[in-house]
Structure 1
Amino acid sequence: MNKFIILLFSLVSLHTYAQKKKNYSEKVDEVTFDMIYVKGGEFQMGDRKGDLVLDTGENPSLPLHNVKISGFFVGKFEVTQNLWETVMGKNPSETKMGNLPVETVSWNDCQDFIKKLNTLTGKDYRLLTEAEWEYVARGGKKHSDEETGNVNITDRAWILDNSEGKLNAVGSKQPNELGIYDLQGNVWEWVNDWYAVDSYKKSMSDDPQGVQNGKEKVYRGGSYMSEEEFCRPAYRNYDEPQIKQSFIGLRLARSL
């Protein structure tokens, strides 16, 4: 009997683990959001062309370095105004419409939102790390070693060239190789990492978390007001965690 119970427990555990690896939908009141499972893998993180130079003459996207990412879940879409308002009770966005990405939210605001979301769902949602974000933006295990992030970018992204200076509904362009939308353009996305110009020189190779303190937080991906260069997967942008801009939002992640 004990062996049977142990075997049954093992089968249930394996089934539960298998379930964790599947894409799923989460519902908060009447608002549903989708999470995509991303298989872990290795990739080269950073600027392949060597031309993402700041006004200071430094390139914070160098050196190119190998990174190993564990599997995790990522939001299929950027967090919408509908979801934010359902969780927080108000919509801070400058341009208000339910299926637009939420914007005018600081990094600190995002932490408050995630804390309340986790209370409502009983889960442990979070922001992506920089490394996870870039891995997903490059197509995860389906990525190419070539710099393809801006090939046919206007098919996938609302940027300066095609947005007519306005936000657009999430998912209204084509997804990337992983079935994830708006990683480039529409709104920049806050990630978890502190910014440092030399982060990559100090980076760990396995699931890097970035430097452990700083003055600014990183955001990635470009916005509807960005030129193509600033939407490249390697491009790093940053601001203080209390800053709010009408072109910065967020995307959810969740560890296995």
Structure 2
Amino acid sequence: MNNHIKNILLFLSCILMVPSTYAQKKKNYTDTAQGVSFDMVFVKGSTFKMGDKKGDLLLDNGINPSVPVHEVTIDGFFVGKFEVTQALWEAVMGENPSEMKMGNHPVEMVSWNDCQEFLKKLNTLTGKDYRLLTESEWEYVTRGGKKGVKMDVSSQNIEQRAWMTSNTENNQHQEVGTKAANELGIYDLQGNVWEWVNDWYSETSYKQAMQSNPQGIQNGTDKVYRGGSFMSEVLFCRPAYRNFDKPDVKMNFLGLRIARSL
């Protein structure tokens, strides 16, 4: 076989390898940190309608932070199948700060600032670049991602997917993954514990045109968290509901979920 043919075959083999390698990057996978494993789910990108045309609870100043409904385009990314557990947090940070300590329950009593320290250490241990979801990514995933664009059922039968006041008798969070998953196979996006996201909070951030992968305002005083908790009524577990607090606040119903860009 002469060199010309060899070069052609080598070129063809490289071309054939590209789709395989690219596809591999987009598969669900399991990672491990200090012996504790966690699952990541690939979410396909698409355009969806963010917000709630019925509106949200009006703030004292009369502003409704969940309107108007607006189109947002999200690129594909990876998201944690479960909320970050106490076991994973302890493996990474060396301690469990939770008020109600139960290993496979979601970690709580962690501030947004604490979450940043956790992510830095997790990335050092894994060699990857994990982060919090953006607010738009969180709502997109909770609404079922691309699968939920045509038929959004995230505001229906919430009790089947969420631990909240109406079905949590012992007034505490529950083991992750014990309620039904959503259309993407992701658990506890609604209920159990609220989840910090990356964005600074703005009452009027929805009053803007269609955009791709919005990151929210660049600075502020409060960080957003989403999803409701075991202490929430169904209203607060709706996918459009926005909550927020200072980035150093810690509460026993507030945790996190991780994400990773492609």
Query: Is 53-62 or 93-102 further displaced after alignment?
Result: 53-62
Cα deviation for residue 14 of structure 1 reads: 2.6
Q: Percent identity?
A: 66
Change beyond 3 A, Cα 1:20–1:187: same
How far 1:6 sits from its partner (Å)?
3.9
What is the CA deviation profile of residues 154-209 of structure 1, one whole-angstrom value per residue up to 9, with x for unaligned ones? Answer: 11100011112111000000000110000000000000000011111246611111
**How many Å separate the matches in 2 of 1:129 and 1:51?**
20
Over 3 Å counting, the alpha-carbon distance change for 1:211 and 1:203 in structure 2 is farther
Of the three residues 170, 176, 193, the one matched with 2:176 is 170
1:118 corresponds to 2:91: no
Alpha-carbon shift at residue 51 of structure 1 (Å) = 3.9
Structure 2 partner of 1:251 = 257
Q: Using the alignment, how far apart are the partners of 2:121 and 2:165 within structure 1?
A: 34
Contact in 2 for aligned 1:48/1:147 (Cα 8 Å)? no
Q: Secondary structure at the match of 2:141?
A: helix
Shift, 1:144, TM fit: 5.0
Once the two structures are overlaid, the 10-residue window that deviates more, 180-189 or 21-30, is 21-30
Query: Cα distance, 1:5 vs. partner?
Result: 3.9
- Residue 90 of structure 1 is matched in structure 2 by 95
Equivalent in the alignment of 2:53: 48
For residues 146 and 52 of structure 1, do their structure 2 counterparts lie closer, same or farther at Cα, with a shift above 3 Å needed? farther
1:152 equivalent in structure 2: 157
| Alignment match, 2:218 | 212
Change (3 A) 1:17 1:147: closer
Report the TM-score when normalising by structure 1.
Answer: 0.95
Distance in 2 of aligned mates of 1:149 and 1:64: 16
State how far apart, in whole Å, the 1-side matches of 2:85 and 2:149 are.
30
Matched AA of 1:176: N
What TM-score results when the alignment is normalised by the length of structure 2?
Answer: 0.93
SS in 2 for 1:214: coil
Q: How many residues align?
A: 256
What displacement does 1:79 show?
Answer: 0.2
CA–CA distance in structure 2, aligned partners of residues 5 and 144 of structure 1: 42
- Which residue, out of 64, 67, 89, partners 2:72? 67
